Amino acid sequence: MTVLDDDGFDDAPTPWFESTQCDILEMPEALPDVCLVIFYHEFSNPIHIKVSEGGTIQSFLDAHSQLVGGLRATHACDRIGNSVPFTHVLSVGQVICIRCEECSTPESPKVSMPVEAASVGLVPVSCQPGLEPAMPVLPVPCTVSPTATWTAPAHEDAEVPRFGPFDAGECPEPSQPMPDCDSWISAAPLLSLQAEQLLALHVPMVTGTKQLWSLKHQLLKAEDRTIILDHQQGIWADDEFRYHISMLFQLRNERACADKTFEFKKLFMLDPLLITGWAHHGDHLCDACGRSHPEIARDQICILSACMIEGHWIPVVLAPNGNQLSFTTWDAPQHSHDVLDKVVEAISKSLGFDNVVRLRHQRMFFTSNKCGALAMAYLHHWVLGSMLPTNNEEAEVIHEGFRSAFKQAVHGCQLARRPWIWGAGDADQDWFHNEPGVLNRSGCS
């Protein structure tokens, strides 16, 4: 046997291992102060992420999968294409490329939920009121590794107030300019009416949420609403209250930020169209409205509104006090509140309060047609502590201020909501005997 025939050297040849090359054609330049990680997917463009040093590739992948999910890393390489293990520690000045594959996970069923918004102003509305999700949507707890640094500040979802089908801010208005066409509700029947004729219009009957939405979704062109506003003269419509009460909410927030001693009140607006309809046609929807807002009694939220009875606007403040509901208002003594008291009783019962405590402040001066401004002035007084007018001249000034602000808001819009009810002022034209600054019937002051 020769040396060539010796079987002692029949081991298999040593294999040649080629390093895995990264197939990204253009790798970015390294940065001296950060570590750059590139996620490369087969059917998408590379994604560049800046991370801090100190963690391994595997720990970074674990943190990233908690955020995006559905990814599986296959290999990693450095800037020149050399493979690096997932235990490699990241450091500044490095460029790491990670190839990933998308994991096929079953798509979770989509749950249809109504869209609800938060402000008293323009909010979207759900198409099907009362629609509940088929299954509860619960947050999935996850732990994000502290090795990955956020490249953008975290945004937490703000608490969004719940709006129901009875709320004043429920009906939407287009947020984008709409084409000028004839498909909007025609304002012709209202454009030719004067103040006295607007007062003669009947209060619409609201027997269900669909009818309420039908009234609140009717929009007019802003220029038509301005013409109607000029014809109103001193009388007020329901849309003016809706606007000024929402502005009052903003003033409350600004006062609370500026004055730390300010008593902040939780407020809720009851649509003047709704409470006036209840006063004229029965409280059919009180129970359903109360059930849709259990937070009023639970969180002791105060209700603001205005009710029109016999052509006269009356301010309405409903303030919870434990198990009691306090009804506070300000009006001339000759007006009867019997109808309004029954509505407040029904509202209190629907919200779960035991009884109602009434406090009626007497307005000791007469005004002919400024009851809308006076009602709004009392709501401002109750929320902000502002002074109440003491005579008809001050009522005129307050009315002009409110009317000017509302007209300016209408001018800034393309569309406005259609008003439905108007109120003029004191129904009884008899002067008080002790009216300050007014001539008595004999001509002497």
pLDDT per residue as tens digits for the range 280-312: 998 777 888 888 889 999 999 999 999 999 899
Q: Write down the pLDDT at residue 314.
A: 95
Percent of the chain with pLDDT over 90: 36
Hey, what amino acid is at 394?
E
**Rg (alpha carbons) of the chain, rounded to whole number:** 34
Q: Where in the chain is the domain with CATH 3.10.20?
A: 35-102
Q: How far is CA 330 from CA 300, 352, 387, in A?
A: 22, 25, 13
CA angle 22–28–29, rounded 5-degree value: 120
Between helix 209-216 and helix 272-281 the angle, nearest 10°, is 130
Cross-strand bridge partners of residue 415: 221
Confidence band of 3 (pLDDT split at 50, 70, 90): very low
Instruction: Please provide the CATH number assigned to the domain covering 188-423.
Output: 3.40.395
Is 35-102 a CATH 2.60.40 domain?
Answer: no
Confidence band of 41 (pLDDT split at 50, 70, 90): low
d(CA 293, CA 270): 11
How far is the first Cα of the chain from the last one, in angstroms, to the nearest whole number? 149
d(CA 235, CA 232): 5
Asked whether the whole model's pTM tops 0.85, one would answer no
Q: Which residue has the higher pLDDT, 300 or 99?
A: 300
Tokens of 366: 């007469």
Contacts of 359 (CB under 8 A, 6+ apart): 326, 327, 328, 329
Average pLDDT, integer, range 398-425 = 91
With 50 as the cut, is the pLDDT of residue 163 above it? no
Distance of alpha carbon 136 from the chain centroid: 22
Q: Where in the chain is the domain with CATH 3.40.395?
A: 188-423
Encode pLDDT of 164-196 as tens digits: 556 665 545 545 555 554 445 678 889 989 999
Q: Write down the pLDDT at residue 22.
A: 54
d(CA 384, CA 134): 44
Neighbours of 423 (CB within 10 A): 27
Average pLDDT, integer, range 113-131 = 30
Q: Write down the pLDDT at residue 301.
A: 95
Query: Is residue 426 within 8 Å of residue 395, measured between CB atoms?
Result: no
Q: In what order do the strands lie in the sheet with 35-41?
A: 47-51, 35-41, 95-102, 71-77, 83-84
Cross-strand bridge partners of residue 319: 326
Secondary structure of residue 77 in the 3-state scheme: strand
Percent of the chain with pLDDT over 70: 65
With 80 as the cut, is the pLDDT of residue 326 above it? yes
Hey, what long-range contacts does 46-54 have (CB within 8 A, 24 or more apart)? 46/97, 49/151, 50/149, 50/151, 51/90, 51/147, 51/148, 51/149, 52/90, 52/147, 52/148, 52/149, 53/89, 53/90, 53/91, 53/92, 54/89, 54/90, 54/91, 54/147
